[in-house]
Structure 1
Amino acid sequence: MKSFTCLALVSAAILRAVSSAPTLECLTTTPNPSFATKTPLLPDPFEFLSGTPVESKEDWSCRRNEISQLFQQYELGLKPGPSQNLQSVFQQYQNGTGGNFTLTASNGDKAISWTATITYPNSTKHGSPYPALIALDLLTIPVPDGVAIITFFVSEFAQQDNMTSRGKGLFYELYPDTSPQAAGALMAWSWGLSRIMDALTNSSDIGIDPTHVGVVGCSRWGKGSLVAGAFDERIALTIVQESGSGGAACWRLSDVENVSVNGADTVQTAHEIVTENVWFSTEFEVFASEVDGTQRLPFDHHMLAGLVAPRGLLVIDNLGYEWLSPWSSYGCMTVARQIYKALGYQQAMGYTEAANHTHCQFPVADQGAELDAFVGKYLLGEQSQTDVFRTEANFTFDMAMWIDWDTPDLS
């Protein structure tokens, strides 16, 4: 990382942690889905575990909390609450282009520190405090005009090199939980990002507007971006780029796509993913290791995307990599958009699937206008047209084949 001379004046603030995880007070029962009947259909987001239908926005708020708990319990691992203490130090570069943002979180006698970098926009399109995008490890989209970039180095925060990375990284020094529900890497990243949001909210001298902050990531970091946006309601815009299974794709649909294209093993599935890396909790392996085991789960990733609603969500996909399960992602997000539709915010969710291009090399000519529209609307406060849902593929997705529920009007 390039070094810069820092200003002598360093701002520091002891922060009162702000709760960012959904409350779970609405949840009354949690079934054990390992005993559930398998179904290839995508579960109903508008029906409580008790069988009671969701009939209002108030009901949805409670159902959303229920879905959040289910993902934590059976796939992603538990997201701890805010740390007991959080301190931030911002060291501005001498040239004024940004700075290093160091956070120290502590619980009892344990403490960890990590540094994110902040780069201010070159243009004068939007003055300070700036809207910002938090990039997970690296930015793989063009830098939006007028938007600051905060780079959060998540791979040192929770390692994810391979299966030996379980429990390694700064997060696990603070939370050394080894239970089956312990946070996997994606949820650990989400926790770290929420602490960055705490610090931004409580530090007025950094030059970032905490009410207009988005998150972006590609590939495995795209999976992380979706989880971060789903589990922190302060994120104004979630951008999920080429995330594949474990991200924008549904487990059930990826299994179908895997056997229908070239026979098998052309698409990443839950069964494969839990042998590759530590993004999920070990509890998830109970379902992923069984043939069609994810069909027991009372959720799928249309409901993870639904946790972002009604905030901005743009899913960017690439038809060139079958491993990323492009049909599954398109179908899963088609169903996810029903949640936005029910809440009266259909245009807040966009999906764009472009033709073959290099993985994580954003095709500006194909998808640039759609990206600009979402950034403009949700970070810059512009009047942008965000009604986009398209694929350049020659496949179709018949939603009636994959759901047995109706979309209510909760608006």
Structure 2
Amino acid sequence: MKPSAVFLGIAALAGQHALAQEQSPLPASCSTFPTQGQYPKNAKLPDPFLKADGTRPGKPTVTTSMSGSTISITCAEGGKTISFSVAVKAPSGSGQAPYPAVIGLGGGSVPYPAGVAVISYNNQDIAVDNPHGKGKFYDLYGSTHAAGGLMAWAWGVSRVVDALEQLGADKTKIDVSRLGVTGCSRNGKGALVAGAFDDRIALVLPQEAGSGGPGCWRIVNDMKKNGTKVEDSTQIVQGDGWFTPSFVSTAADVSVLPFDHHMLIGLVAPRGLLVVENSGIDYLGPPSTFGCTTAAREIYAALGVGDRIGISQASHGSSHCQLPSSQNGDVAAYFGRFLLNATAGSTGFMDTDAKWVFSLPQWADWTLAALS
């Protein structure tokens, strides 16, 4: 079970408060907390499955069909309907159906191993980068919905998983218990958020996602203050609509936020997570990504699964979203363990070819919690 403070903090960043995991939809707006006298007295324990306004959360009506390699998905909510589709590429090499599969935001850009199907998801169809409020998600929930683009993309991933479950393995040849999600750059940010908010994803693999993804705001802003040309919170909110518009009000002073992205990463635990980064692009803030992932590893360690989270940083100049061969083995190890049930190869590594050293005590006044 995820700590509620962690969940609520990240949900607020994404522009959501009551939606979480794949069972829940995106509400039209957050409920107003009732004041005394607005609700009846109840001497018994309140129903934990009711929202504050007395209604039960549902999710959009999802219908789906598959023709050839294309899955068509229709979502209906509040009298509105939207449709989108994803393309399924059958795995190469040996293997037997049902196959594991990776949902690639923008198609993904890591090498997929033999035996793994690839589901190409056009997240820009669901929410465009700029401006906020454009795309099929907002056609369904309204252009002023507080959710940012990253959360809208994650919503779309969850609907893809819904479709796979509805169609069944006999039709799709996909094993929904062995699903991964990946993407690079902005799509890597979206992949991380999708994996954080849907427990049905077994492996999360964001690539070169940098600030606003596996990088912590506090560390990124400190880098910017010390002269590094990195995309910090004040810059990121001026361009693309990836985050809730209300983030603008706190972007200048992230120290007031009761959360940071090590907690977003922690929402993936205890499932598999590999952060892939280019240590040679300052703009991505690779020291922040390394530090943030190191802090998040404490969450995994508290759950006794420290070997399920890893980071692979390698410098390959300005080649963005072009994985060098030196990182292929790291990626393959995570695909092998979490999607292919392989026993060879190790996970849990925290590798960087850079010279920086991250000191957790410098950034954290908390220690490893003992969870049971």
TM range (shorter): 0.7 to 0.9
Question: Does residue 82 of structure 2 align to residue 112 of structure 1?
Answer: yes
The number of equivalent residue pairs is 331
For residue 326 of structure 1, what is the amino acid of its counterpart?
A: P
Residue 100 of structure 1 corresponds to 70
Question: Does residue 63 of structure 2 align to residue 87 of structure 1?
Answer: yes
Secondary structure of residue in 2 paired with 1:258: helix
Secondary structure of residue in 2 paired with 1:227: helix
1:11-410 equivalent positions in 2, closer than 5 A:
61=1, 63=3, 65-77=4-16, 79=19, 80-81=25-26, 83-92=59-68, 99-124=69-94, 126-160=95-129, 162=130, 165-176=131-142, 178=144, 182-204=146-168, 205-260=171-226, 263=227, 266-288=229-251, 290=252, 293-357=253-317, 358-364=319-325, 366-383=326-343, 384-410=345-371
Deviations 1:234-259 (A, max 9, x none): 10000010001100110000011112
Secondary structure of residue in 1 paired with 2:109: coil
> Mind listing any 5+ residue stretches in structure 2 that lack a counterpart?
20-24, 27-57
CA distance in 2, matches of 1:149, 1:175: 29
1:75 shift after superposition: 4.1
1:382 shift after superposition: 1.2
Secondary structure of residue in 1 paired with 2:103: strand
1:76 shift after superposition: 4.0
For residue 66 of structure 1, what is the amino acid of its counterpart?
A: A
Kept in 1: contact 2:106–2:121 (CA 8 A): yes
Deviations 1:41-68 (A, max 9, x none): xxxxxxxxxxxxxxxxxxxx251x3322
CA distance in 1, matches of 2:208, 2:15: 19
Kept in 2: contact 1:348–1:387 (CA 8 A): yes
1:139 shift after superposition: 1.9
CA distance in 2, matches of 1:353, 1:62: 28
Deviates more, 1:198-207 or 1:371-380: 198-207
Normalised TM-score (structure 1): 0.78
Q: After the TM superposition, which parts of structure 1 deviate over 6 Å for at least 4 consecutive aligned residues?
A: none
Secondary structure of residue in 1 paired with 2:250: helix
Secondary structure of residue in 2 paired with 1:216: strand
Pair 1:335–1:142, CA change in 2 (3 A): same
CA distance in 1, matches of 2:315, 2:12: 37
Kept in 1: contact 2:196–2:264 (CA 8 A): yes
CA distance in 2, matches of 1:184, 1:308: 19
> Mind listing any 5+ residue stretches in structure 1 that lack a counterpart?
1-60, 93-98
CA distance in 1, matches of 2:230, 2:81: 40
How well do the aligned residues superpose, as a CA RMSD in angstroms?
A: 1.4
Kept in 2: contact 1:74–1:281 (CA 8 A): yes
- Percent identity between the two aligned chains: 41
For residue 201 of structure 1, what is the amino acid of its counterpart?
A: E
Normalised TM-score (structure 2): 0.86
For residue 71 of structure 1, what is the amino acid of its counterpart?
A: I
For residue 363 of structure 2, what is the amino acid of its counterpart?
A: W
Deviations 1:193-221 (A, max 9, x none): 10111111122211110000000010001
CA distance in 2, matches of 1:190, 1:387: 25
Kept in 2: contact 1:76–1:186 (CA 8 A): no
Kept in 2: contact 1:350–1:386 (CA 8 A): yes
